[in-house]
């Protein structure tokens, strides 16, 4: 009987250790770290590069579009992050598919930011968030809730759906927001971005800008994001 109890305890210990190991960050051969947060282990994967972050350098949180994920999205950013010496973090959002998933993403997003603060080195005065296509939902409805964490927001062909889920832009009256889309973009994207601009105007935001990429299609422009971030870093802080 004692042997059976000891064996059962041993099996329980092994299983518990495997479970714990599954929750640990996984370092890939290209230097990307995969972090699993929340209960949905595949859906909630977050990709980070480089491991541990870079002290005193910018950090970018990038929201992927529909059909992608954090681990897929980060592949577009590794070379730029190496060249320009910044940390890139790509969570996996359900809301990239539908805005209705914002309430599901909110606690996950909170966990992501807490993990970043606890595990990465970066310049806390230069943290930015960007999103492409459906990733615009995460930027508008999650990123705007943390003006204390983010210095600026950059939307790339981003989706916008108005004042849903208590969208509050009050913390962004003077913080920089950039919206870009392509001249050959999907037909609804210019309309959604104009709605976003009208909303910013109605809320008396003063530090937003727009750009139409001539000949551009629906998609992201990592090089433009990085250039904009570096411009924001060189801009002196407001006197207010």
Instruction: Write out pLDDT tens, residues 63-89.
Output: 999 999 999 999 999 999 999 999 999
Tell me how far apart the alpha carbons of residues 71 and 90 are, in angstroms, rounded to a whole number: 7
Identify the pLDDT of residue 236: 57
**Average pLDDT over the chain, rounded to whole?**
90
Give the pair of three-digit tokens for residue 125: 């005065």
Q: Which of 70, 73, 81 is nearest to 109 (CA)?
A: 70
Residue 21 has pLDDT above 90, yes or no: no
Residue 19 has pLDDT above 50, yes or no: no
Residue 6 vs residue 127, higher pLDDT? 127
Identify the pLDDT of residue 29: 82
Identify the pLDDT of residue 39: 80
Tell me how far apart the alpha carbons of residues 80 and 164 are, in angstroms, rounded to a whole number: 34
Bond into 195 cis (ω within 30): no
- Tens-place pLDDT, residues 135-191: 999 999 999 999 999 999 999 999 999 989 989 999 999 999 999 999 999 999 999
Question: Are the beta carbons of 116 and 54 closer than 8 angstroms?
Answer: no
Residue 134 has pLDDT above 80, yes or no: yes
**Residue whose token pair is 């929340």:** 38
| CATH numbers and ranges of domains, the chain | 28-234 (3.40.50.1820)
Mean pLDDT calculated for residue range 3-25 = 46
Identify the pLDDT of residue 173: 96
Checking 23-31 for CB contacts under 8 A at 24+ apart, the result is 25/119, 27/51, 30/78, 31/78
Q: What is the 3-state secondary structure (H, E, C) of 162-177?
A: CCCCCCCCHHHCCCCE
Tell me how far apart the alpha carbons of residues 188 and 184 are, in angstroms, rounded to a whole number: 11
Tell me how far apart the alpha carbons of residues 148 and 125 are, in angstroms, rounded to a whole number: 10
Identify the pLDDT of residue 235: 62
Collapsing DSSP to helix, strand or coil, 226 comes out as helix
Identify the pLDDT of residue 189: 98
Residue 9 has pLDDT above 80, yes or no: no
Report residue 23's pLDDT band, with 50, 70 and 90 as the boundaries.
Answer: low
Percentage of the chain lying above the pLDDT 90 cut: 80
Checking 189-197 for CB contacts under 8 A at 24+ apart, the result is 189/157, 189/158, 189/159, 189/218, 192/136, 192/158, 192/159, 192/160, 192/161, 193/155, 193/158, 193/160, 195/160, 195/162, 196/140, 196/155, 196/158, 196/160
- Tens-place pLDDT, residues 41-56: 778 999 999 999 999 9
Question: Are the beta carbons of 48 and 32 closer than 8 angstroms?
Answer: yes
Tell me how far apart the alpha carbons of residues 95 and 63 are, in angstroms, rounded to a whole number: 10
Sign for the CA dihedral angle at 84, 89, 92, 93 comes to negative
């Amino acid at each position: 009987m004692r042997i059976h109890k000891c064996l059962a305890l041993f099996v329980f210990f092994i299983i518990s250790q495997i479970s714990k190991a599954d929750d640990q960050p996984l370092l890939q051969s290209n230097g990307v770290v995969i972090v699993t947060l929340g209960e949905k282990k595949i859906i909630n994967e977050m990709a980070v590069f480089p491991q541990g972050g870079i002290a005193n350098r910018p950090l970018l949180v990038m929201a992927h579009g529909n059909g992608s994920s954090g681990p897929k999205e980060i592949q577009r950013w590794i070379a730029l992050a190496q060249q320009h010496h910044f940390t890139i973090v790509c969570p996996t959002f359900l809301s990239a598919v539908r805005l209705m998933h914002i309430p599901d993403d909110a606690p996950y997003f909170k966990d992501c930011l807490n993990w970043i603060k606890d595990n990465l080195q970066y310049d806390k005065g230069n943290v930015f968030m960007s999103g492409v296509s459906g990733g615009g939902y995460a930027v508008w409805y999650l990123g705007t809730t943390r003006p204390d964490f983010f210095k600026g927001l950059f939307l790339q062909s981003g989706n916008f759906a108005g004042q849903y889920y208590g969208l509050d832009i009050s913390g962004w009256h003077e913080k920089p927001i950039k919206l870009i889309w392509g001249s050959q973009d999907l037909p609804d994207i210019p309309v959604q971005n104009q709605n976003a601009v009208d909303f910013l105007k109605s809320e008396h935001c003063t530090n937003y800008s727009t750009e139409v990429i001539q000949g551009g299609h629906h998609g992201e422009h990592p090089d433009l994001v990085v250039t904009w971030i570096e411009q924001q870093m060189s801009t002196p802080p407001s006197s207010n």
